[in-house]
Amino acid sequence: MKRVLVVRNDKIGDFMLAWPAFAMLKASLGCEVVALVPAYTRELAELCPSIDRVLLDPGKEGTPTAQRALLDQLKSGRFDAVICLFSNFRNARLVWQAGIPQRWAPATKLAQVLYNHRVTQRRSRSAKPEYEYNLDLVRAFLHHHGVTPVEPAPPYLRFEAAELAPFRAELAAALGIAAERPWLLVHAGSGGSANNLSAGQYAQLMQALCSQFPAAQPVLTAGPGEAALAEQVAAEAGVGAVVARDLPLPAFCRLLACGSLFVAGSTGPLHIAAALDVPTVGFFPLRRSATPRRWRPLNSEGRHLAFHPPGEAGEQVEDMSRVDVTAVAAAVTPWARTFLS
């Protein structure tokens, strides 16, 4: 195997949960790993140490000219195999039309007929984390070729201290905060990916944590269109929080790497922070397709806490207002002493 294409052309969080699969493939085969991604994850893909080259997918809304150009790239790419971590009919037809000899994907949906290597996974049951489903698909591919998988380990993204220190100092000066204090990062936006806590709940949690950890500097992070929400949380919390906004995606990743603790709902930034192995606190609805188990971030053991609304096993609870923030703060405080003190 000289060149393998990996398709993960959906949301940021889903893409981040593919990083262990990229790492396993690269470490086990040493081949050229090419990722097919949409424009909004391209900069993340370019940061991934296990991806050698990035192809941009114009998406189903792309012009006919852009669609033909992508197909031509795939046809001329001389790929030995493709692994579709995200499978739909468009992806299946694309790699089939490209004539890639080995086409691997989960054995789900009608699209599976266009793949010649299928792995039964039952992802809809949410029996394991998403990243484990991705790893299982790569393991099956490697076993088929008689290759022993090299198991990956976090962190999957890192920045050298020599690079991060001046970035932290410059950002601290821009935000008017102390670079030497531990930074408590809170991301209140959701990008519409899952139900989330309210602004009031995030403000209450920040108040509780800042009272327990007075040395911590609270920072609200905000993606595109989220600055107003972050400002609202900062105002309601009244703990001297600042808002970091309008950062390009690579700089946003470096900001997360500066955090001592990162708090967010089940959304892309949570999974970026976890790939850096920054300790994370995540909030998830109690729904089988969105549980803390299915969307567990990539943190190493002991560096992630998950919370969801109260409910019995098998119950579907999406009302995040039922999350008891006082109880969350009581659970987070002893665990976070290692990171925020």
3-class DSSP string for 93-134? HHHHHCCCCEEEEECCCHHHHHCCEEECCCHHHCCCCHHHHH
Q: Name the pLDDT band for 94 (thresholds 50, 70, 90).
A: very high
Tokens 């567990």 -> residue: 296
Specify the CATH architecture of the domain 161-340.
3-Layer(aba) Sandwich (3.40)
Coil, helix or strand for 174? Answer: helix
Q: What is the mean pLDDT of the chain?
A: 95
288 vs 211: CA distance, rounded Å: 35
pTM of structure: 0.95
Both tokens of residue 133? 């489903």
pLDDT per position as a tens digit, 116-137 = 999 998 887 888 999 999 999 9
Provide the β-strand partners of residue 33: 4
Cα-based distances in Å from 281 to 130, 149, 181, 216, 308: 18, 30, 20, 16, 11
Answer for the pair 194, 285: CB distance below 8 angstroms, yes or no.
yes
Q: Which helix (H) or strand (E) holds 172?
A: helix 161-175
pLDDT per position as a tens digit, 258-286 = 999 999 999 999 999 999 999 999 999 98
Q: Name the pLDDT band for 314 (thresholds 50, 70, 90).
A: low
Question: Stretch 239-247: mean pLDDT, rounded?
Answer: 96
138 vs 102: CA distance, rounded Å: 13
On the question of a common fold for 3-144 and 161-340, the answer reads yes
pLDDT at 10 over 80: yes
pLDDT per position as a tens digit, 181-227 = 999 999 999 876 668 999 999 999 999 999 999 999 999 999 999 99
Distance, C-alpha 17 to centroid of its chain: 5
Instruction: Specify the CATH number of the domain 3-144.
Output: 3.40.50.2000
Q: Please state the domain extents for the chain.
A: 3-144, 161-340
Q: Name the pLDDT band for 155 (thresholds 50, 70, 90).
A: very high
